[in-house]
């Protein structure tokens, strides 16, 4: 089976949900210019960046909030931009957003973010419930939580926004997920039918079904030899873990996650050879082997 339609975008949200990680946070400071970073002499055209983001927002399933001049300046300089989006009344779950301008091609960044061989989470059990060619792809996922926390589980619909890629001439790609409409029933039926190895109905009886979980990976070709990599998630995992704490931790880890995707691009590109199961780009076409950054 190919890797198209994988729910790999959820893995960032999963890492944000792990309570054990909340107990030991480590700051990682860059020591030197690495291959993905924007050179100091690179053109920093905030107007062009704003225009590219507007093109993305015009067709994206999850548009990004308007950025201030200061935020655009930071992004243009190749620094990680983190945004906490809060509803006007403050009652809605917070969205954590991370963006990074890099020197890698957009397709290579997409591959690095999508290849399951580099994004797997040991604590996550996941099974695709739909045939390979069906969109949206439906995935059952269970997060094995350390005691005394209850396991979390959910069912998501995963899509690549092909219409966005078409409307922007292939410059903007989006890999999005939302909770399935009848997720709890789908989860119970899938587990009860034995479709999730190692998980039975008794196991999920005490698990908490996450009430909110949606987000996306995105890449934008900026047309100047650089690309924008982005990730955002809105997540409520329920139980005794406050929503704000999940958003706080997600924002804290976004820089490390985005830089990790960018840093491993050469390794992932070399790994993705002709024998590798195909991974689709955001335009629905299989990425060619050995993409060169």
CB 259 within 8 A of CB 80: yes
User: Which residue did the predictor score with more confidence, 15 or 230?
Assistant: 230
pLDDT tens string 165-177: 999 999 999 999 9
Q: What is the DSSP letter of 35?
A: T
Please state the separation of Cα 85 from the chain's center in Å: 17
User: Residue 2's pLDDT is what?
Assistant: 44
pTM of the model: 0.85
Rounded to 5 degrees, φ, ψ at 217 are -95, 150
Considering the domain 10-26+41-271 in this protein, what is its CATH number? 3.30.530.20
User: Residue 135's pLDDT is what?
Assistant: 85
| Cα 279 to Cα 268: distance, rounded to the nearest angstrom | 12
pLDDT tens string 270-291: 999 999 999 999 999 999 997 7
pLDDT tens string 77-127: 999 999 999 988 878 889 999 999 999 999 999 999 999 888 767 788 999
User: Residue 293's pLDDT is what?
Assistant: 47
CB 64 within 8 A of CB 82: no
| Cα 280 to Cα 236: distance, rounded to the nearest angstrom | 29
Q: Which residue has the tokens 């109905």?
A: 201
pLDDT tens string 134-189: 889 999 999 998 888 899 999 999 999 999 999 999 999 999 999 999 999 999 99
Q: What is the DSSP letter of 286?
A: B
Lowest pLDDT segment from 5-19, 27-41, 245-259: 27-41
pLDDT tens string 48-89: 899 999 999 999 999 999 999 999 999 999 999 999 999 888
User: Residue 15's pLDDT is what?
Assistant: 46
Cβ contacts of 262 within 8 Å, gap of 6 or more: 36, 100, 102, 104, 109, 112, 229
Cβ contacts of 246 within 8 Å, gap of 6 or more: 16, 17, 235, 236, 237
| Cα 215 to Cα 221: distance, rounded to the nearest angstrom | 20
């Amino acid at each position: 089976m190919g890797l198209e339609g994988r729910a790999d975008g959820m893995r960032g949200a999963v890492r944000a949900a792990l309570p054990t990680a909340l107990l030991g946070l480590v700051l990682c400071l860059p020591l030197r210019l690495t291959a993905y970073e924007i050179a100091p002499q690179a053109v920093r055209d905030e107007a062009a960046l704003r225009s590219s983001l507007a093109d993305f927002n015009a067709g994206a399933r999850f548009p990004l909030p308007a950025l201030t001049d200061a935020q655009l300046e930071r992004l243009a300089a190749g620094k990680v931009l983190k945004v906490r989006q809060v509803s006007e009344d403050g009652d809605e779950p917070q969205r954590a957003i991370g963006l990074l301008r890099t020197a890698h091609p957009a397709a290579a960044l997409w591959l690095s973010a999508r290849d399951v061989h580099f994004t797997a989470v040991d604590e996550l059990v996941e099974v695709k419930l739909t045939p390979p060619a069906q969109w949206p792809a439906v995935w059952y996922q269970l997060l094995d939580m350390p005691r005394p926390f209850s396991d979390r589980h959910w069912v998501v619909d995963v899509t690549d926004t092909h219409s966005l890629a078409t409307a922007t001439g292939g410059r903007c790609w989006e890999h999005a997920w939302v909770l399935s409409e009848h997720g709890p029933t789908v989860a119970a039926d899938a587990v009860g039918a034995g479709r999730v190895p190692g998980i039975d109905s008794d196991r999920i009886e005490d698990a908490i079904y996450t009430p909110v979980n949606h987000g996306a990976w995105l890449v934008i070709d900026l047309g100047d030899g650089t690309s924008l990599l982005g990730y955002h998630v809105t997540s409520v995992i329920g139980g005794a873990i406050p929503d704000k704490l999940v958003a706080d931790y997600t924002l804290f880890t976004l820089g490390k996650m985005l830089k990790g995707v960018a840093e491993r691009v050469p390794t992932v590109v070399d790994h993705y050879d002709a024998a590798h199961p195909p991974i689709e780009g955001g335009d629905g076409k299989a990425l060619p082997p050995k993409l060169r950054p």
